[in-house]
Amino acid sequence: MSENRKEIEKAIAHPIEEVLDIEPASTFIPVIESEPTELAPVPVFDEGDHQINEQYQEIYDVAMDAYEQQALDVQAIEPKYRARNQEVAVQYLNAALNAAKEKANLKQTKEKLVAKPATGGASIKDSNVIVADRNDVLKELFGREN
C-alpha cells in the first residue's frame, strides 16, 4: 500500500445484524482511506483546464482506492473467485493509468503550445502561401527587419 493510503476500520449496517439481533452498525470492515494526490503540476490557462485536471486526478485517486480495496478483499473471497477479483483489480489499475496518461498528454500539449515561439509579422502556412499584409511581404522579399 502506498504512503498516502491507509487501511481503517469502518462501521457499517450489515443485514445479518438484524437477523441475528445484533446492535445495528456494529460490523466493521476494512476500508482504504487516502489523501489527495497530485500526478504532476500542470500550468492552468483557464477554469476549464482546472476542472479537467481535477477530473483526471479524481479518476486516478478513485481507481487507486478501488484497487487497494480489491487487494484487501482478496483475503476474504473464496479461492475460485479470486482470479476474477484480480481481473477487476487490473481494470482499476488500467483506469488509473489511463487517467495519468491523459493528464500527461494534456500537460505535454500545453507545454508545446507555451514553448511555441510567437511569430510577429508574416506566417508561412506552407511553401506556396504566405498570410501577411503588404509590408510584411516586402520585408520577406528584401530581408529587412524595418
pTM over 0.85: no
Asked if 100 and 77 sit in the same domain, the reply is: yes
Domain interval for residue 129: 120-146
Asked if 57 and 81 sit in the same domain, the reply is: yes
CA distance 130 to 132: 6
The domain tally of the chain equals: 2
For residue 45, what pLDDT is reported? Answer: 63
Asked if 54 and 9 sit in the same domain, the reply is: yes
Residue 33 pairs in a beta bridge with: 6
The one-character DSSP state at 30 is: E
Closest CA to 82 of 70, 92, 93, 94: 70
Antiparallel, parallel or unpaired: β 123-124 and 130-131 = antiparallel
Question: Residues 55-111: pLDDT tens digits?
Answer: 888 888 888 888 888 877 777 778 888 888 888 888 888 888 888 888 778 877 877
Question: Residues 18-39: pLDDT tens digits?
Answer: 888 888 878 787 777 777 666 5
